[in-house]
Amino acid sequence: MSDFDPNRRQLLKASTVAVGGVAAAAGLMQTAEAAAVAQPAIPATPVLMSILLRVNGAEHQLMVDPRTTLLDALRDRLHLTGSKKGCDQGQCGACTVLIDGRRVTSCLTLAVMQEGHDITTIEGLGTPTSLHPLQAAFVKHDGFQCGFCTPGQICSAVGMLQELREGAPSHVTGDLNAAVQASPLEFRERMSGNLCRCGAYSNIQEAIAEVAGVKR
Ligand code: FES
Ligand code: FES
């Protein structure tokens, strides 16, 4: 008879430990494989794309990382720093520009998406000697204090007045079957995406109302 004579209980214990070890090893391998699939290799150099941006009537050929926002392309690459970066997540409106006449928060769109579109920034709306009517009204009515939100406010107001002219209703429009009326209530609602940390709202409203020909 052999010296090795394990009883039944010892055999069961030993085989349970062995099976547990194999299962743990298999689990670790699966985890490692999943991690390898979830993390694609990072390219050594950034992938760049060539784009043609049309801004304020001028064309600009740029090589950009496709993740570049329009706001960063305008400010950092084209040095059009009128559009401001307040929040970089679509909450403050300081980066508002016009794309094909529509107001857009430029921090929420990619530069590569805007090829073939007409982009207008505050620099393209008027000149120091020939202000856009809204720029002139903001000066006349003191529609700013620090001025950080002002380019976005003015671009947004240009787009907003166009939306009103086209009869687009807003959340506060009472009768959807009647022509939309410009009013201080409509202005407040439609400009609510543009925040002013200085609280110059009442003067901003006066400026917009004057350009729209509405009595406050
Ligand atoms: S910076 Fe774009 S919405 Fe605030
Ligand atoms: S004027 Fe200062 S944030 Fe609006």
Q: What is the pLDDT of residues 194-204, one digit of tens each?
A: 999 999 999 99
What is the CA(89)–ligand 1 centre distance, in A?
5
Pick the atom of ligand 1 nearest to 193's CA: 3
What is the CA(87)–ligand 1 centre distance, in A?
5
CA distance 10 to 191: 79
What is the CA(3)–ligand 2 centre distance, in A?
91
Q: What is the pLDDT of residue 1?
A: 43
**Residue 15: is its pLDDT beyond 70?**
no
Q: Pick from 75, 88, 122 the residue to mutate for probing ligand 1's pocket: most ligand atoms within 8 Å of its CB.
A: 88
Average the pLDDT over 59-67 and give the result.
97
**Residue 74: is its pLDDT beyond 50?**
yes
Q: What is the pLDDT of residue 193?
A: 98
Q: Pick from 138, 196, 204, 205 the residue to mutate for probing ligand 2's pocket: most ligand atoms within 8 Å of its CB.
A: 196
Q: What is the pLDDT of residue 102?
A: 98
Q: What is the pLDDT of residue 44?
A: 78
What is the CA(94)–ligand 2 centre distance, in A?
9
Average the pLDDT over 162-172 and give the result.
96
What digits encode the pLDDT tens for the residues 34-52?
666 778 777 778 899 999 9
Average the pLDDT over 126-134 and give the result.
96
Q: What is the pLDDT of residue 10?
A: 64
**Residue 175: is its pLDDT beyond 70?**
yes
Average the pLDDT over 63-83 and give the result.
98
Q: Give ligand 1 pocket residues (Cβ under 6 A).
A: 85-88, 90-95, 105, 107
Pick the atom of ligand 1 nearest to 96's CA: 2
Pick the atom of ligand 2 nearest to 146's CA: 2
**Residue 151: is its pLDDT beyond 90?**
yes
